[in-house]
Chain A
Amino acid sequence: MAKKVAFLQGNEAAAQGALYAGCKFFAGYPITPSTEVAEVMSVELPKVGGKFIQMEDEIGAMAALIGGSLAGSKALTSTSGPGLSLKQELIGYACIAEVPCVIVNVMRGGPSTGMPTGPSQSDIMSAKWGTHGDHPAICLVPASVQELYEETIRAFNLAEKYRTPVMIMPDEIVAHMRERIVFAEPGEIEVIDRTAPTVEPSKYKPYDTSFGDVPPLAAFGSGYKFHVTGLNKLPDGFPTTKAEYVQAEEERQVRKVEGNAADIMKWEEYLCDDADIIVVAFGSTSRSARFAVDEARKQGIKAGLFRLITFWPFPEARLLELSKKAKGFITPEMNLGMSHGVVKAAVEGNAPVLGIFRVDGEPINPGQIIDKMKEVK
């Protein structure tokens, strides 16, 4: 049988990906340019026995997300910059309480209300440092409608596997762009469910590390009772300030992601092997970069593209390796240098890193990238 295809918008594809992953709960508050994710979920979730709730604001939505997930549902919210800022306190709560959930954040111009309909890539630092304190961070940055669909499925898998919030951050161009999408058949893409406890309810501890760095998570309502708090906690979930627990727990929470970075990180190398100049890009900007790389090769410039698909954890080791041969790196981005700093740190001075920063609501075009390549000595 021929596979199901459709001509879909990025945001619609994200919602379809969530449904494929088995998402049964959405809580959110509408905001441009992410609203279509919520629209599709509001129509589709009731059909599969799920629940959609529009909360009073983004803070309430994030709180509801945590509740929905603790009750056993795979949970999704969607938002954009100002909404992400409001969600941050509770994203930290989900990190420390180790509650799996997925946040689609469509990047628009900022800070504050910024430019609601304009594209941007300026929330990537917010994905890692937006909520205070040390905590794990996973952020995916797809570049096409098909990839947004597939990466949303992967976002759920990572959230459930590592018991942690996962952010997926398309820029406005990717989120509002339409392309043909080929839907996966049931079973074609792996879907991971969280590990449920096997011990009897009276023996259950929600943070029992004898099961490993990611302890099983019971669903409320399934007979297991446990305590959930934003305070540093003991294996049974009750608060503690005991030094040996706090230190070990914080380290474990970060280690869940950093220690499994090889499983989480994903990138694509295009013509990087013999490249003198490597463009490091993500989202819609990586599409401009690929166009530029092809044009540059025609002009005799040995250019390559390192396309980030996972932004956090960041593949610094691979970039360090590539920097030993490359003459220079270019970071085109719709912000004032967020990935530029990260790439610079990764390459440890082995090669210069030139930035192209644009925050005027216009995409970075291939011509700008080719011009910048000519500045690399």
Chain B
Amino acid sequence: MSRYELRFSGAGGQGLITAGIIMAKAASIYEGKEAVQSQSYGPEARGGASKSEVIISDGPIDYPKVTRCDALLAMTQEACNKYSDDLKDDGVLLYDSDLVTKLPEGNFKKVGFNIINTAKNEVGREIVANIVALGAMVALTGQISKENAEKAVLSSVPEAFLELNKKAFNMGYEKALAAK
């Protein structure tokens, strides 16, 4: 049975738990697979290390946490240092190239672009950086279709921000493909 393990990591307040939830929801509700999302976070509302883990499988999922990571998103250098140890050789690391300058060693694929700055300057709001990252993760992992992922994004964000999030998601998706 295929088991695909993703980890979204960075600092508290970057919206990584939300990104993980949307990824898992897309797989579970729209793609018809099994998915579990879990999280670990510190007591701080902002800052501090934060991670959200998603397991996607064709069958029932027992252990809900990452055993060996297939895909890692690192939105801070600290998260990249802390969470890249168990990344598989054929896995993929997506990182924010402005914030993560020291890359870990390993044979896994490394894909970076300026995620936060893309949200801020090209999409127009820094707050959607997590959705830019999500779009990129969807493109790089190939676990769920772009259409189903977009449906999950749009059903998870406030109505007033549908267009903004759609733009963010697509921008992330395209940039990841270009940087691949």
Q: A173's contact among B35, B38, B43, B67, by CB below 8 Å, is which?
A: B38
Residues in B9-35 with C-beta less than 8 Å from chain A: 21, 24-25, 28-29, 34-35
| Assembled-state Cα–Cα distance A32/B39 (Å) | 14
Contact between B28 and A180, CB atoms less than 8 A apart: yes
Q: B29's contact among A32, A176, A180, A291, by CB below 8 Å, is which?
A: A180
What is the chain A residue whose CB lies nearest that of B28? A180
| Cβ-Cβ contact count across A and B, 8 Å cutoff | 56
User: Interface majority SS on B: helix, strand, loop or mixed?
Assistant: mixed
Q: B63's contact among A5, A179, A180, A291, by CB below 8 Å, is which?
A: A291
Q: Tell yes or no: A323 within 8 A of B by CB.
A: no
Taking the closest CB of chain A, its distance from the CB of B88, in whole angstroms, is: 15
Q: Which residues of B contact A176 (CB under 8 A)?
A: 38-39
Residues in A11-52 with C-beta less than 8 Å from chain B: 32
What is the chain B residue whose CB lies nearest that of A6? B29
| Assembled-state Cα–Cα distance A5/B25 (Å) | 11
Taking the closest CB of chain A, its distance from the CB of B155, in whole angstroms, is: 10
Taking the closest CB of chain A, its distance from the CB of B129, in whole angstroms, is: 21
Contact between B43 and A7, CB atoms less than 8 A apart: no
Contact between B63 and A177, CB atoms less than 8 A apart: no
Q: Tell yes or no: B73 within 8 A of A by CB.
A: no
What is the chain B residue whose CB lies nearest that of A367? B67
Q: Tell yes or no: A100 within 8 A of B by CB.
A: no
Contact between B67 and A179, CB atoms less than 8 A apart: no
What is the chain A residue whose CB lies nearest that of B44? A117
Q: Tell yes or no: A328 within 8 A of B by CB.
A: no
Q: Tell yes or no: B62 within 8 A of A by CB.
A: yes
Q: A117's contact among B35, B36, B37, B41, by CB below 8 Å, is which?
A: B41
Contact between A177 and B37, CB atoms less than 8 A apart: yes
A278-294, CB under 8 A of B: which get 1 and which 0?
00000010011011001
Residues in B93-109 with C-beta less than 8 Å from chain A: none
Taking the closest CB of chain A, its distance from the CB of B150, in whole angstroms, is: 16
Contact between A116 and B63, CB atoms less than 8 A apart: no
Contact between B42 and A117, CB atoms less than 8 A apart: yes
| Assembled-state Cα–Cα distance A288/B43 (Å) | 25
Q: Tell yes or no: A142 within 8 A of B by CB.
A: no
Contact between A363 and B36, CB atoms less than 8 A apart: no
| Assembled-state Cα–Cα distance A256/B41 (Å) | 41
Q: A177's contact among B38, B41, B62, B67, by CB below 8 Å, is which?
A: B38
On whether A287 and B29 interact (CB within 8 A), knowing A117-B43, A176-B38, the answer reads no
| Assembled-state Cα–Cα distance A117/B37 (Å) | 16
What is the chain B residue whose CB lies nearest that of A116? B43
Of A7, A32, A116, A179, most buried by chain B (CB within 10 Å of CB) is A7
What is the chain A residue whose CB lies nearest that of B66? A365
On whether A179 and B42 interact (CB within 8 A), knowing A287-B64, A288-B63, A365-B63, the answer reads no
Q: Tell yes or no: A366 within 8 A of B by CB.
A: yes
Contact between B41 and A366, CB atoms less than 8 A apart: no
Contact between A7 and B24, CB atoms less than 8 A apart: yes
Q: A7's contact among B28, B40, B62, B64, by CB below 8 Å, is which?
A: B28
Q: Which residues of A contact B28 (CB under 8 A)?
A: 7, 179-180
Contact between B25 and A7, CB atoms less than 8 A apart: yes
Binding site for B on A (CB under 8 A): 5-7, 32, 116-117, 173, 176-180, 284, 287-288, 290-291, 294, 363, 365-367
Extra A-B contacts (4), CB below 8 Å, given A177-B36, A177-B37, A284-B64: A177-B64, A178-B24, A178-B38, A291-B63
Can you give 29 A-B contacts (C-beta < 8 A)? A5-B29, A6-B29, A7-B35, A116-B43, A117-B40, A117-B42, A173-B38, A173-B64, A173-B65, A176-B39, A177-B36, A177-B38, A178-B21, A178-B24, A178-B25, A179-B28, A179-B35, A179-B37, A180-B34, A180-B35, A284-B64, A287-B62, A287-B64, A288-B62, A291-B62, A363-B65, A365-B63, A366-B63, A367-B67
